[in-house]
Structure 1
Amino acid sequence: MVNRLYTRTGDDGFTNLLGEGRVAKYMPQPEAYGTVDESSAAIGIARAAAQSERTRALLLTAQRDLYHLMAELAATQQAAPQFRKIDAQRVAWLEEQTDAITALIQLPKEFVVPGDSLPGAYLDLARTVVRRAERLVVHLVHDGLVENVELVRYLNRLSSLLFVLSLYENALAGVSNVTLAKG
């Protein structure tokens, strides 16, 4: 017997939620958790390119958190509490990590142009995908489809961590002055 990866249940343009229910694949909920999945993939590229073991470990932990975040987003409102792992403690962890990395770098006083090192550029790309995911989750919260506001806070803090990790990885690559947007 051959195990098949495909189920054919989504061929009609609908997808199952965790709990009872199906929604069109273009609806805000699948769009949000799909973008969180995309965020994790972008973080995976950054993790593969990172020079620092510290960076790689932080990114892997964030990817594991995003897995839980996706599960809650993919659940019906009734089932969501059973998948809830992202809370104020996870947000606080991100803040602690961001502060620790910030202490190791010099923050620029204006906007930077991504691309000073390959690992830094990948982290900046991941940051922008996370910010898009954040906007989609905010939409779900504002529409009353998701009640856990910690999901928004988590994604917001994750983008901050990715920003400082980009600067940290740039510094490890020997970039002493990042490229500034104003030149």
Structure 2
Amino acid sequence: MSEDTPNRLTKIYTRTGDKGETSLGEGRRVPKDHARMEAIGTVDELNCWMGLLINEVRDGQILRHKLLDPLLEIQHRLFDAGGELAMPGWQIIKQEHVDSLEALIDQFNSELPPLENFILPGGSSQACHFHMVRTVARRAERRIIATRNAGEEINAPLLSYFNRLSDLMFVLARYIARQTGGEVLWQQSDREKV
């Protein structure tokens, strides 16, 4: 192995986190419940949900040709986002990544009728998977905002990326539901002012 070869994780446990701290990419030790670590963990969870969604799309045959490549690209960018959060002072997610999500939103939303009612997660298993990714993306966005509000530096495109990702997942959930079983419209209960 040459000196240019990056180090690889060969030992899974190091015991360095047994006292409730972990290291960020620049070497700083922080508590495992630090705002930045909460954001990193939520992005990791989101990436797991994205992997499940990708497998659902891959196995489901429906619109695989339109969705698989964009979703795989997003999954790689989610890993980048976690890396950016782990390395304060570095930027990986850029405006071009946000623009890419906006182009996808415009593309798929142009094929949908205007939304005239609230919708519920449902319509098909695939649509529900898109809604799960949507909600975890919103939570990741909130965790990133909490990190910024705790005085940590957050690059603007990173925050925008998660906002657009959630919007895209909402549009794709609608798109898939209309292809696979129909959107489930919210039926409002009777209400009265108290």
CA distance in 2, matches of 1:59, 1:23: 32
Structure showing greater radius of gyration is 2
Q: Which amino acid aligns with 1:179?
A: V
Q: Which amino acid aligns with 2:150?
A: D
CA distance in 2, matches of 1:66, 1:146: 18
CA distance in 1, matches of 2:30, 2:92: 23
1:66 aligns to 2:78 (yes or no): yes
CA distance in 1, matches of 2:54, 2:111: 19
| 1:144 alignment partner, SS class | coil
1:96 aligns to 2:106 (yes or no): no
1:181 aligns to 2:186 (yes or no): yes
| Preserved CA contact (<8 Å) 2:39 2:140 | yes
CA distance in 2, matches of 1:144, 1:88: 22
| 1:145 alignment partner, SS class | coil
CA distance in 2, matches of 1:103, 1:33: 33
Bigger shift: 44-53 or 13-22? 44-53
The answer for the alignment partner of 1:38 in structure 2 is 45
| 1:15 alignment partner, SS class | strand
CA distance in 1, matches of 2:155, 2:114: 31
CA distance in 2, matches of 1:141, 1:27: 12
Q: What is the TM-score normalised by the length of structure 1?
A: 0.89
Identify unmatched segments of 5+ residues in structure 1.
Answer: none
Bigger shift: 105-114 or 13-22? 105-114
Q: Which amino acid aligns with 1:41?
A: C
Report how far residue 43 of structure 1 moved. 1.4
The answer for the alignment partner of 2:63 in structure 1 is 52
Bigger shift: 156-165 or 40-49? 40-49
| Preserved CA contact (<8 Å) 2:35 2:150 | no
Q: Structure 1 residues 154 and 107 mapped into 2: Cα distance closer, same or farther (>3 Å)?
A: same
CA distance in 2, matches of 1:20, 1:161: 35
The answer for the alignment partner of 1:111 in structure 2 is 118
Q: What is the TM-score normalised by the length of structure 2?
A: 0.84
Q: Which amino acid aligns with 1:58?
A: P
| 2:151 alignment partner, SS class | coil
Q: Which whole-Å deviations, capped at 9, do the CAs of 1:119-155 have from their partners, x for residues lacking one?
A: 1001101100010010110122233302301111100
Q: CA RMSD in A?
A: 1.5
| Preserved CA contact (<8 Å) 1:141 1:148 | no
Question: Identity of paired residues, percent?
Answer: 33
1:127 aligns to 2:134 (yes or no): yes
Report how far residue 168 of structure 1 moved. 1.6
1:158 aligns to 2:158 (yes or no): no
Report how far residue 182 of structure 1 moved. 2.5
| 1:96 alignment partner, SS class | helix
| 1:23 alignment partner, SS class | strand
